[in-house]
Amino acid sequence: MAHLGDCLLSIKPQEKSEGLQLNFQQNVDDAMTVVPKLATGLDVNVRFTGVSHFEYTPECSIFDLLGIPLYHGWLVDPQSPEAVSAVGKLSYNQLVEKIITCKHSSDTNLVTEGLIAEQFLESTAAQLTYHGLCELTAAAKEGELSVFFRNNHFSTMTKHKGHLYLLVTDQGFLQEEQVVWESLHNVDGDSCFCDSDFHLSHSFGKGPGAGGARSSPEKRRQVDQDYLIALSLQHQPQDTVGLSDLELARQLQQEEYRQQQAGPPAPVRASPQGRGATSGRPVGERRQRPKQDSDCVVL
């Protein structure tokens, strides 16, 4: 924030006229009052008519003075004339007020218009439309660094070889050195991760198993240990069902100690869940034995 403040104060007006200099100085003063808010966020209000259309606020003056483009992709599709008419050139805050007013009106046309506007907000809750994405791709310049606003978040955006990318800043990717950019080519969030050279990163994948790749070794060991205990419980004889938790824990500990004394287990094949078995018997051996109700112990 101190660096941005210094940058704002170092900017010189290009126009020499006194009136324009006073206006420029007022914009700088407004921007300086907004700088402390950067620690918590800025209030911007989009208009649905263009990717760079925002209601002018002192917050927007920071982007204007520093020459940083501010974009969004929440646009009305021109192929939906009813939605275009209902939304018009209103900002988001103005549109919400209009919906409330129209829904309480006695005029049927106004009520219908309010319902259409409300349907537009609900159907585009992701705050990005395909029309907006196309307009955004066309408006952004190649190699340009800009700020993309969506879902009350600001992201650093750039355009590389005609494609849009967002800088990955989520804390969960802190240890993923090959994950730097995330592609922005889909409204539904189906994106790809790339390295600093915009090459597809294979070190991280989305999906149910993606979390395991990023989990710490301690967490993976804990998950494996829990699975081993579950397997041990299933292999216990029937007389262990009546044991208390303490007695059962002691018995499991003794069994683990005996396995450690016997040496490392033989290599085993992984189960469908990706976890290995504890003892020397393969996982498939347990599946071949007929399963009885008494084999299950509920913890």
Residues recorded for the chain: 299
DSSP secondary structure letters along 26-65 = HHHHHHHHHGGGGGT-----BBTT-TT-B---HHHHHHHH
For 185-249, list the strands marked E by DSSP. 193-194
Position 258 scores a pLDDT of 67
Judge contact between 255 and 278, C-beta under 8 A.
no
Residue 153 forms beta bridges with which residues? 150
> End-to-end CA distance of the chain, in Å?
53
Pairing state between β 146-150 and 70-71: parallel
Cα separation, 122 vs 86, in Å, equals 14
In angstroms, rounded to a whole number, what is the distance separating the alpha carbons of residues 236 and 294?
A: 10
Per-residue pLDDT 10s for the chain (299 aa) are: 889 889 988 888 776 777 777 888 888 888 898 888 888 888 889 999 999 999 988 888 889 889 999 999 999 999 999 999 999 999 999 999 999 999 999 999 999 999 999 999 999 999 999 999 999 999 999 999 999 999 989 999 999 999 999 999 988 888 888 899 999 998 887 789 999 999 998 755 443 334 444 445 555 555 555 555 555 555 555 454 555 556 666 666 666 666 666 655 444 444 334 434 333 333 343 444 444 454 555 55
Residue 277: its pLDDT value, please? Answer: 38
The whole-number pLDDT of residue 237 equals 53
Separation between Cα atoms, residue 293 and residue 299, nearest integer Å: 15
Q: Kindly report the number of other CB atoms within 10 A of residue 246's CB atom.
A: 8
